[in-house]
Structure 1
Amino acid sequence: MAAIRDGFQSRIGFVLAAAGAAVGLGNIWGFPTQAANHGGGAFLLVYFIVVFLLALPALYTELYIGHQAQANPVKALKLAWTEKAPKVGATAGYIGLFGAIVMLSFYSIVAGWMLAYALEPFARLFGLEALSEFLKSDSLERNLLFTPLMLLLTASIIFKGVKSGIEAWSRRLMPLLLVLLVGLIVYIATQDGAQAGFSAYLQPDFSKVTDPDLIIAAMGQAFFSLSLGVGCMMIYGSYLKPNENLPRLTASVAMLDTGVAFLAGLLIIPAIYVAQHNGVQVFQDGKLIGEGQLIFAVLPELFSSMGEIGLVVALTFFVLMAIASLTSTISSTEIPVSFLVENHGVTRRSATWWVTATVMLASLTIIFNFEWLFGLVIQVFTQYQLPLMGLFYFITVGWMWRRGNQLALECKGWMYYFAQYVRFVCPILMTAVFVNVAFNH
């Protein structure tokens, strides 16, 4: 008798988990930086349009494949391509699996930085200056300590499965993330200089809306911020009950993820202007200084200038960043774990240890070759794998899978036109994103 497959027990549990997978450093770190560098309100306007035109359909297709197959990405894509070329589907599944490991290998390092910075205010509070400097240092030793810590934290949740682990912790972490985010926005809004930041973010300069660089940046950000192209959404979709209303759930996840990105902009961009008001150099040649400097130099300098309350603000901000990191590492870890459990009969506990050990080895490879490998891995992953896999999913649902074709044939009303849009328009838009992101940047 086949074992009953674990899954989400409630719609809100799924929405929070899937939004948690999507909500990560791309939303809270990447989105505000892109907005600051591409016209503020103009970028925001284009971003919302692109989410509706491209990211929402991409999210639906990835969830749809997993939901229909009720299986991990390797099984699901093999099934989707069974009638045409099962080896092509399985190969794409393995590429996604490899991509999840690669993403975890660098994401766990960055998540470890967030964890270290979250602990740093405690060191300052107790006068432990040496420890404070270590936690802020860009050192090999810090990476070797905090990367495994983040991996173990992730593993401790994955051990417990979907219902007791992923769903239960998503229901705790996501509301906490939202509360921290709103609380920080309210506090930053009271600081001198914040008003200029709100104006820059919320008032579009319509002359910039047609800027090709802005449009491409918005397309890339919208796609990447939803964690599409790796299989995170596919595996979560597979844990939904077969009779769930997928279009409605897709819209809920996209709205929550986009809402968090919007709120992150309401926090970060006014904070940038507050820092500038306090004498911190923020812009260089009209562009925001490097993203790494923003998170690990500009904002900590701002927090330090706030006096004792700055300790609380710094702690809150980096706890927020650590939570955003954790909700993303959980979803990415579940992809290879589910593969080992379902395709090779490995127990969940053993699979989690194997995946954690593999990611740790990959992370160590990056840590010991950081100067050249870290940036290269991120570039290959974000500029090539994610958009190509997104394009592959559109083709899979729209053209290759019998169920995908039935989507177009059986749907009525607006869903019929949506199915045609996924088949014909989305692959063209996704190809445009890939070509521009990969070859023009």
Structure 2
Amino acid sequence: MKQEKNTKFTSRIGFVLASVGSAVGMGNIWMFPYRVGQYGGAAFLILYFLFVILFGAVGLSGEFALGRLTGTGPVGSYDYALKTRGKKGGSFLGGIPLLGSFGIAIGYAIIVGWVLRYLFGAVGGTLMGTESEAYFSQITGSFGSVFWHMAVVALTVLVLVGGVLKGIEKVNRIIMPAFFVLFTIVAVRVMFLPGAGAGYSYLFVPQWEKLADPMTWIMAMGQAFFSLSITGSGMIIYGSYLGKSENITKAAGQTALLDTCAALLAGLAIIPAVFAFGMDPNSGPPLMFITLPKIFAQMPAGRIIAVLFFVSVLFAGITSLVNMFEVCAEAVMKKFKWGRKAAVLFVGAVVLGIGLFLEYEPYMGTWMDIITIYVVPFGALLGAVIIYWVLGTGRISAELNIGRDKPVGKLFKFMAKYVYVFLAGLVFILSIIYKGIG
């Protein structure tokens, strides 16, 4: 596909911030903190860091490299890879991870709509003055959050209409630094709450016996894998906008580092507050929408902290949605030869049209379970196989060597082809067995 004018990131930092924006999402905020404590504190963190290093160096780099090599998204990239083997059907295979991004976008837009409504509730004070279970139930019924849902989709479309340079890169250059600053402010405020120390112990005191529990390894692997947004689609499209002079492995490392920092920062902002007010840290998604509003209502200056918190979460959600919409819009542009504006508007309309009928929380939960347990892990595995077995480590290594002073070695090729692809397959199987591990 011939790319439109200005469809390249202007710098590595712009690319990295956009990639971090894609990776940092709800899993970093409502899932990572309680998993750390539940599965061993610092013992879990050690495993998580090791998996992040591996998946960042091999998985993330591979997806970036495939995108830059082909200059297009998953549909075109998979087609290219199979044609190097004289095979057809790559476009169909590329549609599987694309379907995963599309499916997540539908559910994510609903959830981010909830976040936007909570933000306005915090600003206006209604969130503090309403029982949190009742507030949550008001917005999660059938067609319970239409306005906020539409606003989130419209905001995402508005960002993407500006293209890569004026839309994706410019917005992420502003939003992602703001995300880190705002969450840091919340974390510092929480530090001074009486009883917050128990939260730090929960997060960081190592429970070494947990290393003997296979679930600790499984959850650390799943959290690291999906936290980096390795889905076989979204990072490929961002890689296609990366200039040839950039060092992909370095950019992947920076992305993984900042994503990990975001997850840790979320833990420092949430878990000590939960313990300070004697709440349950293991409540998953309700932690953000039910537990934390109760805490903000009791906390001195809690209304201000609630506003900062939900602004930060909104930023994380919008930047993730931007990536999901972009990979879908690129496929529409390629398939129908449409311009960017028409393709983005089409994707936004379809995402909203389907999502409106899934606003009832049990429907949305079932939808997201199907997508995240089956479709996305399979798409990620498919991407790993396409990159390192179909296209091959030789071609990908050659692309990775562009912009590097020292070429990738034999160890990288071995880890990519045998270790990473095996683990991607394991993630897919375990995701089905345990009904989700990421």
Q: Same fold (TM over 0.5)?
A: yes
Whether the 8 Å CA contact 1:229–1:385 is kept in 2: the answer is no
**Partners of 1:390 and 1:430 within 8 A in 2:** yes
Q: Any conservation in 1 of the 2:128–2:293 contact (CA below 8 Å)?
A: no
What residue identity is the alignment partner of 1:170? N
Equivalent positions of 1:19-418 (< 5 A) are 19-84=20-85, 86-124=87-125, 137-138=138-139, 139-276=141-278, 281-282=279-280, 288=282, 290-307=283-300, 309-367=301-359, 370-371=361-362, 373-401=363-391, 404-407=393-396, 414-418=408-412
2-side partners of 1:224 and 1:68: how far apart? 23
Q: Percent identity?
A: 32
- Provide the secondary structure at the position in 2 that maps to 1:87: coil
Residue 429 of structure 1: aligned partner: 423
**1:205 to partner: Cα distance:** 1.1
Structure 1 position 416, deviation (Å): 2.6
Tell me how many residue pairs correspond in the alignment: 427
- 1:386/1:135 CA distance change after superposition, 3 Å: closer
Q: Distance in 2 between matches of 1:101 and 1:336?
A: 7
Structure 1 residue 365 displacement after superposition = 2.7
Q: Which residue of 2 aligns with 1:438?
A: 432
Aligned twin of 1:11: 12
CA distance in 2, matches of 1:359, 1:126: 28
CA distance in 2, matches of 1:126, 1:46: 38
Normalised by the length of structure 1, the TM-score is: 0.90
Q: State the Cα distance separating 1:56 from its structure 2 match.
A: 3.6
Q: Which amino acid aligns with 1:90?
A: S
Query: Aligned partners of 2:30 and 2:217: how far apart in 1?
Result: 19
1:406 shift after superposition:
3.5
Preserved CA contact (<8 Å) 1:120 1:135: no
* CA distance in 1 between partners of 2:116 and 2:170 (Å): 21
Distance 2:173 2:290 in 1: 32
Shift in Å, 1:317: 0.7
CA-CA distance at 1:129 after TM superposition: 7.4
Q: Name the stretch that deviates more: 294-303 or 86-95.
A: 86-95
Alpha-carbon deviation of 1:408? 5.6
- Cα deviation for residue 125 of structure 1 reads 7.5
Q: Distance in 1 between matches of 2:366 and 2:79?
A: 30
* C-alpha deviation, 1:10, in angstroms: 1.1
SS of 2:365 mapped into structure 1: helix
How far 1:5 sits from its partner (Å)?
A: 5.8
Instruction: Indicate if the aligned counterparts of 1:224 and 1:386 stay in contact, CA closer than 8 A.
Output: no
After TM superposition, give the deviation of residue 367 of structure 1 in Å: 2.2
CA distance in 2, matches of 1:224, 1:254: 11
- Range with greater deviation from structure 2 (44-53 or 252-261): 44-53
CA distance in 2, matches of 1:67, 1:115: 34
Tell me the amino acid that sits aligned with residue 296 of structure 2. F
Relative distance call for 1:128 and 1:195 in structure 2 (3 A) is: closer
| 3-state SS, counterpart of residue 81 of structure 1 | helix
In structure 2, distance between residues paired with 1:408 and 1:108 = 36
Shift of 1:120: 0.7
Q: Report deviation, 1:310.
A: 0.7
SS at match of 1:241: coil
Q: How far apart, in 1, do the equivalents of 2:67 and 2:334 lie? A: 14
User: 3-state DSSP class of the match of 2:83?
Assistant: coil
Equivalent-residue separation in structure 2 for 1:223 and 1:314 (angstroms): 30
1:128–1:398 distance in 2 versus 1, CA, 3 Å: closer
Q: Distance in 1 between matches of 2:20 and 2:230?
A: 12
Farther-moved stretch of structure 1 (105-114 vs 418-427): 418-427
| Structure 2 counterpart of 1:143, one-letter code | S
**Letter of the aligned partner of 1:219 in structure 2?**
M
Letter in 1 for 2:16: V
Per-residue Cα deviation, 1:112-156 (whole angstroms, up to 9, x for no partner)? 0110111112222899979x9768733445421211110001001
Residue 268 of structure 1 deviates from its aligned partner by 1.6
Distance 1:135 1:200 in 2: 27
Separation in structure 2 between the aligned mates of residue 409 and residue 129 of structure 1, nearest angstrom? 58
Aligned partner letter, 2:356: L
Checking the alignment, whether the CA contact within 8 Å between 2:136 and 2:289 is kept in structure 1 is no
Alpha-carbon contact 2:210-2:216 (below 8 Å) kept: yes
Contact 2:179 2:312 in 1 (8 A): yes
* Closer/same/farther in 2, CA of residues 401 and 125 from structure 1, 3 Å limit: closer
Counterpart contact for 2:397–2:408, Cα < 8 Å: no
**Residues in 1 aligned to 2:336 and 2:150: alpha-carbon distance in whole angstroms:** 26
Matches of 2:286 and 2:381, distance apart in 1: 33
Residues 112 and 318, structure 2, Cα contact 8 Å, conserved in 1: yes
Distance of 1:409 and 1:124 partners within structure 2: 56
- Counterpart code for 2:357: T
Partner deviation per Cα, 1:234-281 (whole Å, 9 max, x = no partner)? 0000000123211111111111111111111122221221121xxxx4
User: How far is 1:15 from its partner?
Assistant: 0.6
Contact preservation (8 Å) 1:78, 1:93? yes
Displacement after TM superposition at 1:7 (Å): 1.2
Q: Counterpart amino acid of 1:150?
A: V
Q: Provide the aligned C-alpha RMSD in A.
A: 2.5
In structure 1, list runs of 5 or more residues that go unmatched: none
Offset of 1:96 from its aligned partner? Answer: 2.0
User: 404-413 vs 75-84, which deviates more?
Assistant: 404-413
